[in-house]
Amino acid sequence: MATVDIIVPTYNTAKYLPIALDSVLAQTFEDWRILLIDDGSTDNTADIVASYQKRLGPKLVYIKQSNGGVSAARNNGIRHATAEFLALLDADDVWLPWRLAESLRCFEDRPEVGLAYGLISRIDSEGSVIDTFKGNRRNAKGKIAPYIYMRSVQLPTSSMMFRKACTDKVGVFDETLKQTEDRDLWLRMAFHYEVGFAPRVISLYRTSDDSLTTDSDGMLKAQLRFIEKHYGAPGCGMKARRIALSHIYRQRAEAFGLRKQMQGAVQSSLRALALYPLDLSNVRTAGSFLLRYAGLYR
């Protein structure tokens, strides 16, 4: 039994899969096993996996399923996992060599920690770094469930590690949520466990034009459902709800802005400001988009 089971869901990502798998092979911590869940791929994923199976033997388990979405694939991996710790790696993302070692350090002599994350850099389709997620150091670790609900702290999926015991206690990914399913699971865990934090870039997150995160209407619907699902839980009261909603609408405004849809950007930024005017980020965002909409600022 390995110390860490690595769950890699893949769906028609044969182009990037070898890069992801090679980043696992390059880990400084070597006591791992890969659970690769093929979510009904129709490309040459199976051929690529076969070449790695010859090299890795029992350190790579290949599981095929009918297409059910990323949550179903991850849940299938969790069901097959036997390690104490589980780590997530999407097939188009990349780990840095110290990823597993840094994540495991968050759990050393700390049984109260159930999940841990680290910093990431975003990369484009060719692997060039776009920017680096610096995190929110004020509420980065510990008992931070309310801050996860309020979206004041980000827990990037490909930087996550958690004890399998956590899913035994709170369940797995909610397959009815097509987006925000990861935040939903981290919040359910954080209600019962402390969160660890590795203050170092440990993973590279690949962005693409066809990413689910570019579906702003679908994302908004899922985010609103997440907020209502957990509203009333400890630390998730009325003020936290307003802060969470303001973050959602500010994020939506920024997405509209990137697509040069200024009317939508202004409307969403003003809604964020109305929900929580005490946040200076909401003030700055609304002011910026109003000036741009009026042609006074580029």
CA distance 3 to 282: 43
**pLDDT tens digit sequence for 35-66:** 999 999 999 999 999 999 999 999 999 999 99
Whether the predicted model's global pTM rises above the 0.95 cut: no
Q: How far apart are CA 298 and CA 285, in angstroms?
A: 13
How far apart CA 57 and CA 272 sit, in angstroms, is 52
**In angstroms, rounded to a whole number, what is the distance separating the alpha carbons of residues 71 and 172?**
9
Closest-CA residue to 80 (of 13, 192, 167): 167
Partners of 161 in the beta sheet?
A: 87, 116
Contacts of 113 (CB under 8 A, 6+ apart): 106, 107, 193, 194, 195, 196
Strands 194-206 and 94-95: antiparallel
Q: Encode pLDDT of 188-219 as tens digits.
A: 999 999 999 999 999 999 987 554 445 678 88
156 pLDDT higher than 70: yes
The predicted structure's pLDDT at residue 136: 74
**pLDDT over 70, % of the chain:** 97
**pLDDT tens for each residue of 223-250:** 999 999 999 999 999 999 999 999 999 9
**174-206 core/surface letters (b: 16 or more CB in 10 A; e: else):** beebbbbbbbbbbbbbbbebbbbbbeebbbbbb
CA distance 123 to 153: 21
Rounded distance, CA 55 to CA 195, Å? Answer: 35
